[in-house]
Structure 1
Amino acid sequence: MNTIQYNPNRIVLRIKRQSFDGNGDVDWTVDPFSINYQDVLDAISRVLQTTASAFEYEDDDGDRIIVKSDEELRAMINYYIMSNDSRVVPAMPPMLIIYPKVVKTPRKRNVLGLTVNTKAAPAPSVYGVESPMGKHKSGGNLQAILQSGQLMYLDITPDVQKQIMSELDILFKCDSSYIISFYGAFFIENRIAMCTEYMDGGSLDKYGKIPELVLGKVTASVVKGLVYLWNQKIMHRDVKPSNMLVNTQGQVKLCDFGVSVQLERSIAHTYVGTNAYMAPERIVGSEYGVNSEVWSLGLALLEMALGKFPYPTDNQRELSSMAPPTLPSDRFSPEFVNLAALCTRKSPHDRPAPDDLLHHPFICKHDDNDVSIVAAWLSKMLSHVKNNLPSTEEYPAAAT
């Protein structure tokens, strides 16, 4: 039997339903040293779709102990840790079962018995779902607004369990200013509802041609986001303008990890992602690594700079035999032309490595954490959209 020494830095709380068969119980992995009483109540509210006033746990004698404060929560956790500290357990430590004290029976059930790691997320009662914000490959997207005024992005996903659970695990581990924030997840009628950061400017694919001065700031943020993922041994695997989000504060962040895979090795074989942005080696089914993401980044930059997909076709067979597209040197700075050319080299070994990207002159030139340029550009673009005006480029030409 495989055994492990109990680790008190992570514990599993099992939120118990008010039913005898255990159907719908939800397991929640938490950091016992940072969680507080309100976090637990919020989690119970998400699971049961109702308000909890307190919860209970059982001691060694089977007696129920009620928890109604942070002090009592700490006593519960200390009791659990002391009970298991010296224990060697099979495969996983025992779960700490909590019994919610609620007024009414929950309406929704986690019929499939799925478990998910989440950070503390707001209860359903504190957000309101508005009109659909469009569709993309992972399902219908709804805007959710916290009553406190904070905006979030609520993604009601289709029932593709394995892929969604993988996405949740990746999002839970990400902590970067250039990756969309993940607030939590809960189950509704056998589907997983994901609460992620709401970027009020939407995706960059809808803005057409982006001035180089703005695109320089965008590129710096995207590259830093990708390098963060790569350092975590994660590949996005679907890098394109529609997966780059912007907000009115001028921040740019990567999103949509529906086809991300955490790398156990430095290469991957799986054929996933959006075909038009795939590197040549991916199209023919060869091994690929981080340098394939660099190709996709290059195509995305070309598209945003030119205002259109840089190839005359998006047919993958034709793309693999075509010469890489380039930026016209009379319209763009030498640094930008060089970066795009390096990223779209046919041989993956000739493309820049992550450190080379970070230290490329075009990135260094624009990596100053100044979000005002993107914010001002987005404000103008949103104003043009609101007033049905054509977009105009009101930025100085790039320095040569």
Structure 2
Amino acid sequence: MRPGPGRTNRPRRRPDLTLPLPQRDPSLAVPLPLPPLSASAMPPTASFQIPSFSDLERLRRIGSGTGGTVWMVRHRPSGRIYALKVIFGNHEDAIRRQICREIEILHTADNPHVVRCHGMYDHAGEIQILLEYMDGGSLEGRRISSETFLADVARQVLAGLAYLHRQRIVHRDIKPSNLLINSARQVKIADFGVGRILAQTMDPCNSSVGTIAYMSPERINTDLNHGIYNGYAGDIWSFGLSILEFYLGCFPFGENLGRQAGDWASLMCAICYSKPPEAPPTASPEFRSFIACCLQMEPQRRLSAAELLRHPFITRTQAPAAITVSACGVRTRKDGGWAVESAFLGNKSPP
């Protein structure tokens, strides 16, 4: 463009002069509304397929608690068996949509030691989650006195934990009742992810003894560890406590501590201020060291799941004895020190 009459092209005095961009006050920001809740309560994905809810037949109840009930269900067209977890209570739409987003994340989890989450339904106002069925149930109340057997259980749980932690997923509620087994002797972690979202609606005080009992000291008392909580280290504490409980056949801080109504304060004080539990002197040095690497008061001193997989307690063991499946459940050979069927699927302690 040529200059007009009487005008000349002059260089700018400030060639670097620019107008400042307007700054937005974040306090005035208005978030976009969330999309409406779909009939299936699942965010649409190209690859996701979930059985129709009308095709599921409830067979029997296999578990229940303060938060909900778990049913054994059969998919009529295929005959496949699933577990259906029904969450008690009607939740606000915002909570439901948050759960849907979390379920979509859990649906992508793919590890042989993590219970598969197939999806969820919003049926009759209840949130219902379709899960992989584990026919051996949970390891709650089971005693595993064989160190070889226990090392294999620990290895499988650690493999699942290491996977979750690599995916930046913290379980927050590792305990025997959340460790499941099937007839192929696979041990898998259950109830991860969704529990932390539902915690405020299912249990506002977060006061379930079953949960507090396995919490790390720094999670119970925020004054410990300078108020810093590391969820990954917290999972390791809960894992170590669970493995020690399997070996002892009772809760490591005392069989009845905290189990009586109104005795939660004693339980929390024991966890936060007493010396961490140890494996008994009769246990092998490898097992005692393994438990000590998990149950450290200082979170930074606990080994990670990946590091524990390289611990001698895990690596020294040989391949487990061969197993066969019968109509009664799992039967294992007694050679190699393996426990018999009742250690997993029958009585709470081996004969």
Measured against aligned partners, the alpha-carbon deviations of 1:43-84 in whole angstroms (never above 9, x if no partner) come to xxxxxxxxxxxxxxxxxxxxxxxxxxxxxxxxxxxxxxxxxx
2:237 to 291, 295, 306: 295
Counterparts of 2:167 and 2:246, CA distance in 1: 27
Does 1:237 pair with 2:181?
no
Matched, 1:356 2:293: no
1:21-40 C-alpha deviation (Å, 9 max, x unpaired): x9958664223xxx5xxxxx
Classify 1:25/1:345 alpha carbon distance in 2 versus 1 (closer, same or farther; 3 Å): closer
What is the identity, as a one-letter code, of the residue corresponding to 1:365?
A: R
- Corresponding letter in the other structure for 1:340: I
Cα distance in 1 for residues equivalent to 2:349 and 2:42: 50
Shift of 1:125: 4.2
CA drift of 1:123 comes to: 1.9
Partner of 1:398: none
Q: 1:124 aligns with which of 31, 41, 53?
A: 53
Bigger CA radius of gyration: 2
Give me the whole-angstrom Cα distance separating, in 2, the residues matched to 1:349 and 1:205.
Answer: 28
> Equivalent residue of 1:338, what SS?
helix
Change (3 A) 1:179 1:135: same
Over residues 294-324 of structure 1, what are the superposed CA-to-partner deviations in whole Å (9 max), with x where a residue is unaligned?
1111111111110000012241123211111
Instruction: Kindly indicate whether the alpha-carbon contact (under 8 Å) linking 2:293 and 2:303 is maintained by their aligned counterparts in 1.
Output: yes
RMSD: 3.1
Of 261, 269, 293, 1:317 maps to 269
Deviation at 1:175, TM superposition (A): 0.8
Taking a change above 3 Å as real, the CA distance of residues 202 and 279 of structure 1, as seen in their structure-2 partners, is same
Q: CA separation in 1, counterparts of 2:345 and 2:140? A: 17
Provide the C-alpha distance between the structure 2 equivalents of 1:378 and 1:164, rounded to a whole number of angstroms. 40
Q: Which amino acid aligns with 2:63?
A: G
Distance in 2 (alpha carbons) for counterparts of 1:155 and 1:203: 14
The answer to whether the 8 Å contact 1:235/1:260 transfers is no
Distance 2:151 2:322 in 1: 11
**Are 1:197 and 2:137 matched, yes or no?**
no
Give distance in 2, aligned partners of 1:197 and 1:27: 18
Q: How does 1:1-400 map to 2 (within 5 A)?
A: 24=39, 28-31=43-46, 35=47, 119-147=48-76, 148-158=78-88, 159-160=90-91, 162=95, 164-165=99-100, 167-257=102-192, 258-260=194-196, 274-285=211-222, 286-289=227-230, 290-312=232-254, 313-314=257-258, 315-330=267-282, 332-366=283-317, 372=323, 376=332, 377=339, 379-381=341-343, 384-385=346-347, 391-392=349-350
Instruction: Label 1:318 to 1:204 Cα distance change in 2 as closer, same or farther (>3 A).
Output: same
Per-residue deviation at 1:375? 6.0
Q: Distance in 2 between matches of 1:175 and 1:29?
A: 19
The unaligned stretches of length 5 or more in structure 1 are 1-13, 16-21, 36-118, 262-270, 394-400
> Relative to total residues, which structure has the larger strand share, 1 or 2?
1
Mark the CA change 1:350 to 1:375 in structure 2 (over 3 Å): closer, same or farther: farther
TM-score, structure 2 length as denominator? Answer: 0.69
Give the secondary structure class of the aligned counterpart of 1:206.
coil
Structure 2 contact 234–299 (Cα < 8 Å) conserved: yes
- AA aligned opposite 2:214: Y
Do the aligned partners of residues 367 and 230 (structure 1) sit closer, same or farther apart at CA in structure 2, a change above 3 Å counting? Answer: farther
Query: What is the identity, as a one-letter code, of the residue corresponding to 1:294?
Result: I
* Inter-partner Cα distance in structure 2 for 1:152 and 1:197: 5
Distance 1:25 1:384 in 2: 37
Is the alpha carbon distance of 1:382 and 1:358 closer, same or farther for their aligned partners in structure 2, counting shifts above 3 Å? closer
> Could you report, residue by residue, the CA deviation over 1:324-377 in whole angstroms, capped at 9, with x for unpaired residues?
1111132x2221111101110111111112331121111223485878498635
Relative contact order (C-alpha < 8 Å, sep 6+): which is higher? 2
* Contact in 2 for aligned 1:220/1:367 (Cα 8 Å): no
Preserved contact between residue 248 and residue 379 of structure 1 (Cα < 8 Å): no
CA contact (8 A) 1:220 1:366 kept: no
- Return the alpha-carbon distance in structure 2 between the equivalents of residues 214 and 127 of structure 1: 36
How far apart, CA to CA, are the structure 1 residues paired with 2:41 and 2:146? 48
CA distance in structure 2 between the aligned counterparts of 1:295 and 1:25, rounded to whole angstroms: 37
Could you tell me the TM-score, scaled by structure 1's length? 0.61
**Using the alignment, how far apart are the partners of 2:39 and 2:51 within structure 1?**
20
Q: Kindly indicate whether the alpha-carbon contact (under 8 Å) linking 2:115 and 2:189 is maintained by their aligned counterparts in 1.
A: yes
User: Does structure 2 retain, via aligned residues, the 8 Å contact 1:154–1:195?
Assistant: yes
Is 1:247–1:375's contact at 8 Å kept on the other side of the alignment? no
CA drift of 1:186 comes to 1.9
Per mean C-alpha deviation after superposition, the further-off stretch among 186-195 and 205-214 is 205-214
List per-residue Cα deviations over 1:244-279 (Å, max 9, x = no partner): 000111010000123347xxxxxxxxx898111111
Relative distance call for 1:191 and 1:324 in structure 2 (3 A) is: same
